[in-house]
Structure 1
Amino acid sequence: MLINKKTLSDQIYDVLKIEILKREIPFGSKLVNRTLQQRFGVSSSPIRDAINRLNQDGLVTSIDKSGATVVDFDYDFFLEVNEILLYVINTGVKLSFEKSDTEEVCKHLEKYLLLQEKYIGTDEFYDYDYKFHKTFINYSKNSRLKKLFKEYNVLHEMLVRNYYEPRTFKIQEDSIKMHKKMVEAFRKKDYKLVMTLTEEHYKGAEEIFKKILEQREKKLEEDDCYD
């Protein structure tokens, strides 16, 4: 018999996080404590705990007695998150090279690379993309770097999941190609090249995201003209 060891707050947090990431709960919307209590059939305590964890992930802001607000964003918001995540990962690359066995790191990178190829075009792709980059963080053997990576990757993933949809498959293919180059460079002990490739990877994301937002804004303006 399987026993669910997750607490109520864990389960509520998981549900709300997925709904925010998939934009089933829209950006900028209000999470109301009383409404959530009724929905999940629980007291206020597990709701508050779940909201506090979402706040730690950076997914909600403006917590008060009535609830919290789901984070909203613009291009500058994405840019700041992307910049921080880039420097965190590159720090992980450098430290993992200095502190860990190169072949062991590559073994784990290749495992997640194969899983990315297997699940390209699906939601699971993002999970293995996260685990690919997190490999450098894990092998950096720096607990504070792990905390930073987790926080900013959640925000990054939220935006990527929701705004890369029109070109998802091509973007994921390009991501896999870049990851292969990174593994090859790391195996050759050229960690500086890995860092350069990582920067190219994340700077490319900035350009893609900017174009997608511009296209969406243009479409909204055109729709307004027809109304």
Structure 2
Amino acid sequence: MKDTLVKMTLSEQIYNILKNEIISGTIPLGSKVTNRELQERFLVSSTPIRDTINKLYQDGLVKGVTKTGAQVISFDYEYATEINEFIAAISSVALTMTVARGTDKEVTKNLKESLKKQAAASDDDAYFDADFHFHKSFFDFCGNQFLKETYKRYNLIRFLLIKSAIRTAEDRSCSIRQHGDIVNAYSAGQFSLASQLLEQHYIHGLALIKEYNP
């Protein structure tokens, strides 16, 4: 049996590298990325660099795109509030849709697995990956591809802000406890309560963002 190779264009490869570097903090928030520097770094022409920057712009990771480059987004509390409110709202819709579709058992399984991984995470990457998949569970089983894609796109921005806010062991423990409360309510069929707890969880996340990024 032959392995299936996934072929990516130059711009796709560069995009994945830069996106991961922004998420990890290797490229700091608020910093500038220039076409010339990227061309020299990756030894490519201007075309794949422009394509890459346009993709990052579509993700909301850069702004102020010009002929010479762009700027990585920086912290803006008002913008963070709007993103947080939006993600919280569509998460509630996704949760309700999983109940309507009868996929709550599958969601419960995923939530518990993600919660277990989050509690056992030994580093930031493992912790935030489990956190991402915990929230993504509702979208994976809501039965609406557009809702799922919307979450995937806009949650990336919120993820950057949350990652900068959750800094201490207590921050992590609190988030894990809140996730546990959501799982308990959802798995017990208390879906309205689970939705309320999910909303409160997002509100708490916004409070952390404000605390660490005044």
TM-score over 0.5 (shorter chain) = yes
User: 1:50-69 counterparts in 2 under 5 A?
Assistant: 50-69=52-71
Amino acid at match of 2:177: K
Amino acid at match of 2:185: A
Amino acid at match of 1:68: A
Aligned counterparts of 1:207 and 1:64: Cα–Cα separation in 2: 34
Amino acid at match of 1:105: V
Q: Contact 2:166–2:172 at 8 Å: present in 1 too?
A: no
> 2:171 matched to which residue of 1?
171
Contiguous gaps of at least 5 residues in structure 1: 215-227
> 1:159 matched to which residue of 2?
161
Amino acid at match of 2:139: I
Shift of 1:139: 0.8
Pair 1:205-2:212 in alignment: no
Q: Contact 1:22–1:161 at 8 Å: present in 2 too?
A: no
Aligned counterparts of 1:19 and 1:206: Cα–Cα separation in 2: 23
After superposition, the C-alpha distances for 1:187-216 in whole angstroms (9 at most, x for unaligned) are: 2222111110011101111222222224xx
Aligned counterparts of 1:163 and 1:154: Cα–Cα separation in 2: 14
> 2:22 matched to which residue of 1?
20
Contiguous gaps of at least 5 residues in structure 2: none
Give the TM-score taking structure 1 as reference length.
0.86
Q: Contact 2:33–2:70 at 8 Å: present in 1 too?
A: yes
> 1:36 matched to which residue of 2?
38
Q: Contact 2:118–2:130 at 8 Å: present in 1 too?
A: yes
Aligned counterparts of 2:86 and 2:62: Cα–Cα separation in 1: 19
Q: Contact 1:117–1:176 at 8 Å: present in 2 too?
A: yes
> 1:220 matched to which residue of 2?
none
Q: Contact 2:178–2:201 at 8 Å: present in 1 too?
A: yes
Aligned counterparts of 2:159 and 2:60: Cα–Cα separation in 1: 12
Shift of 1:73: 2.5
Aligned counterparts of 1:156 and 1:191: Cα–Cα separation in 2: 24
Number of aligned pairs? 212
Amino acid at match of 2:50: R
Task: Look up the SS of the partner of 1:58 in the other structure.
Answer: coil
Shift of 1:58: 0.6
Q: Contact 2:75–2:161 at 8 Å: present in 1 too?
A: no
The percent identity for this pair of structures is 37
Aligned counterparts of 1:128 and 1:48: Cα–Cα separation in 2: 32
Task: Look up the SS of the partner of 1:123 in the other structure.
Answer: helix
> 1:90 matched to which residue of 2?
92
Aligned counterparts of 1:28 and 1:148: Cα–Cα separation in 2: 24
User: 1:61-210 counterparts in 2 under 5 A?
Assistant: 61-119=63-121, 121-165=123-167, 167=168, 169-210=169-210
Q: Contact 2:75–2:213 at 8 Å: present in 1 too?
A: no
Aligned counterparts of 2:176 and 2:74: Cα–Cα separation in 1: 29
Mean Cα displacement is larger for which, 202-211 or 84-93? 202-211
Give the TM-score taking structure 2 as reference length.
0.90
The structure-2 alpha-carbon separation of the partners of 1:8 and 1:89, relative to structure 1 and needing over 3 Å to count, comes to same
Aligned counterparts of 1:41 and 1:124: Cα–Cα separation in 2: 32
The structure-2 alpha-carbon separation of the partners of 1:77 and 1:155, relative to structure 1 and needing over 3 Å to count, comes to same
The structure-2 alpha-carbon separation of the partners of 1:7 and 1:139, relative to structure 1 and needing over 3 Å to count, comes to same
Amino acid at match of 1:199: E
Q: Contact 2:34–2:69 at 8 Å: present in 1 too?
A: yes
Mean Cα displacement is larger for which, 138-147 or 16-25? 16-25
Pair 1:6-2:5 in alignment: no
